[in-house]
Amino acid sequence: MSENSKFDKKVCSYEEFIEESIIKIEKSKEIKEPCFVLRPPLFRGQSNSDWSLSTTLERKILREIRLSKYYSLIYSIVNKVNMLSNYKRKWDLPHPSIKDKEILVNKEVFEYMVYLRHHGFLSPLLDWTMSPYIASYFAFKEDVPCDNVAIFMYNESVEVADIKDTEIISPGDNIETHERHFFQQTNFTYCKEEIKDELFFRSHEKVCATEEEGNKDVLVKYIIPKSERIKVLQKLKLMNITEYTLFHTEDAFIKTLAFDSFDLK
């Protein structure tokens, strides 16, 4: 359980969140300065506002882990993945002797990490969507016993000449991955810190700034009443945002029919 954080922003309704989100998206298109870029915001919905913003690796390990150690671990299983996986792609990874700073800028390595995360392997990656509407679906889709849901909004600012020891990296959507990530407008981030030439994965919440703290990587946690759930899901269905359209599986299709038959009746 997470106590109230400095990122919390309570809103009275889903519509208030959407209005603010659209303003932020439009603002990111307007800022064009030679040394400063404000990228479009990313969104992540969570079914309980008590839950913190944490990766699956953080929730399991409960401590920061060195990047090279994690890479050695996922490298050690790549032959098994290549042998047993039904995925057509065969992963060709650099040896773990590669320098820390070269690991995550390697496109093959990052796409392999995304693949592992997609199939349930503990990961330092957080998945986001570029759509506040899709994030809303993930926030409200499960009827979790709680008073509020949360939708995180991450605004990444990039200063061209800025070099930071600690930062959040968003590789963008120009990666080869599962088709589901296209339907969900998915992007991924990881947070790293350099300590004496060694890189460690860190918590996103430890690095981000609040809106009041200026033009840094800004995180806002919108707290929205769960009582809005059915209203929100009805609106999203009219936009064709359902379990099936986001996952495109037979299970998702049946789950969509069940929701229509029971929740929306």
d(CA 92, CA 94): 7
- Is the pLDDT at 234 greater than 90, yes or no? yes
Q: How confident is the model at residue 124 (pLDDT cuts 50, 70, 90)?
A: very high
pTM exceeds cut of 0.85: yes
- Whether the predicted pLDDT of 216 surpasses 80: no
Residue 76 pLDDT:
98
Residue in this structure with the two tokens 């997470």, named with its chain if needed: 2
- The 10s digit of each residue's pLDDT in 136-189 is 999 999 999 999 999 999 988 765 445 455 678 777 767 888 899 999 999 999
Percent of the chain having pLDDT more than 70? 89
What are 193's strand-pairing partners? Answer: 166, 200
Domain boundaries, the chain: 8-229
Q: Which of 44, 32, 20 minimizes the C-alpha distance to 158?
A: 32
**What is the residue-averaged pLDDT of the chain?**
89
Q: What is the pLDDT of residue 211?
A: 83
The answer to whether 159 touches 35, Cβ cutoff 8 Å, is yes
